[in-house]
């Protein structure tokens, strides 16, 4: 084989190895990952006078979307849209929550949910949400 053919084959093999070996460790969310979030959840929320809290999580219109009712037990519950951004993470992009701009995340771990909600310079947390 000529020197040029050997170099060309080496370059092609290197490109194939780099392309195939790319993001093997990165696991993105899939629509089946959102099933575990669907349902009614009860937990504790630290930023209210009544720490008992509930949220309802339903499928949204897209493969990775949700429609979530936050603080469902109060008269002015917030219905927000959210997206599965990791196998165990829902991200609530900035939208109106409690009459003001807010955002948050919901995390699934050990069959429980935790909530981080941000708005007006405050961060509030909910924990130990269990399905009921």
Q: Give yes or no for residue 33 having a pLDDT over 60.
A: yes
Q: Give yes or no for residue 20 having a pLDDT over 70.
A: no
For residue 91, list its beta bridge partners.
83, 105
Closest CA to 47 of 93, 116, 103, 109: 116
- Per DSSP (E only), the strands in 30-111 are 39-45, 52-59, 65-70, 78-86, 89-97, 100-109
- The better pLDDT of the pair 2, 112 is held by 112
What are the pLDDT digits (tens) for 37-85? 999 999 999 987 778 999 999 999 999 999 999 999 888 899 999 999 9
pLDDT confidence of residue 55: 97
Fold of 31-131: Lipocalin (2.40.128)
Q: What is the pTM of this model?
A: 0.77
User: What residues does each domain of the chain span?
Assistant: 31-131
């Amino acid at each position: 084989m000529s020197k040029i053919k050997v170099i060309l084959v080496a370059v092609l093999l290197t490109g194939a190895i780099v392309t195939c070996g790319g993001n093997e460790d990165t696991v993105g969310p899939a629509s089946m990952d959102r099933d575990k979030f669907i349902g009614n959840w009860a937990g504790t929320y630290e930023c209210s006078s009544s720490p008992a809290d509930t949220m309802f999580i339903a499928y949204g219109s897209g493969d990775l979307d949700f429609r979530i009712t936050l603080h469902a037990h109060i008269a002015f519950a917030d219905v927000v849209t959210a997206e599965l951004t990791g196998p165990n993470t829902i991200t609530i992009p900035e939208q109106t929550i409690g009459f003001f701009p807010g955002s948050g995340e919901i995390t699934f771990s050990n069959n429980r949910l935790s909530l981080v909600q941000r708005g007006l310079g405050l961060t509030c947390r909910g924990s130990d949400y269990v399905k009921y």
